[in-house]
Amino acid sequence: MVGGSSPSSRAITKVIMDKISTFFKEAYNELTHKVTWPKLGELQNSSMLVLVASLIFALMIGLFDLGFENAMTWFYSEF
């Protein structure tokens, strides 16, 4: 036997390749026929919501950071 080319290893390789092939065929079928993809308007609305929420959280964290920085500067300058 040379380099694992026995009939049993070829059979195992075929089974594995068949499983991989089946997986990709089923995944493609599910993505093209079973998944409901959002419309462009829904994507734009969701994107705007995420953008606005991210900006609000960024401003809140920035204000907290500025407040803590000022508090620490005041605290350490006093002592």
pLDDT tens-digit map of 54-64: 999 999 999 99
Give 54's Cβ-side CA count (13 Å radius): 6
Q: What is the pLDDT of residue 19?
A: 96
Q: Is the distance from CB of 60 to CB of 52 less than 8 angstroms?
A: no
CA–CA distance, 61 with 77 (Å, rounded to integer): 24
Give the pLDDT band of residue 3 (cuts 50, 70, 90). low
